[in-house]
Amino acid sequence: MIVDIKPLSVNKAWQGKRFKTKDYKNFEKSMLLLLPNNLKVSNGNLLVELTYGFSSKLSDIDNPTKMVLDCLCKKYGFDDRQIYKLIQEKKIVQKGKEFIEFKITELDKRPS
């Protein structure tokens, strides 16, 4: 199904400045430390696959996506404009076992 409407960006959805919360700053610091250092990301068009392990069924699959993508971009030096395909999955796990799994591949160089 196609809906003929221009997608609204996050930047256009909010008025005024947005500031990172203390929780976001702590998340970003931890995430950047936990991400592996040896990953090389292409400068081509990218596919990003994200799996979230949530301990609550009420968690929205898209809520952490912007922060996670921003951390991946910062760590690996690519621009999120390069992402042409995004696949997300939600799994329910025990409290204390939450996780974020990711895979970044170049769209044109995926194995067939």
Residues 21-79 have pLDDT tens digits of 899 999 999 999 999 999 999 999 999 999 999 999 999 999 999 999 999 999 999 99
Q: Tell me, which fold does domain 20-109 have in CATH?
A: 60s Ribosomal Protein L30; Chain: A; (3.30.1330)
Residue ranges of E strands in 36-80: 46-54
What are the backbone angles phi and psi of residue 20, rounded to the nearest 5°?
Answer: -70, 135
pLDDT beyond 80 at 3: no
3-class SS of residue 100: strand
What is the enclosing helix (H) or strand (E) of 112?
A: none
Confidence of residue 109 (pLDDT cuts 50, 70, 90): low
Token couple for 73 = 């971009």
What is the enclosing helix (H) or strand (E) of 27?
A: helix 22-34
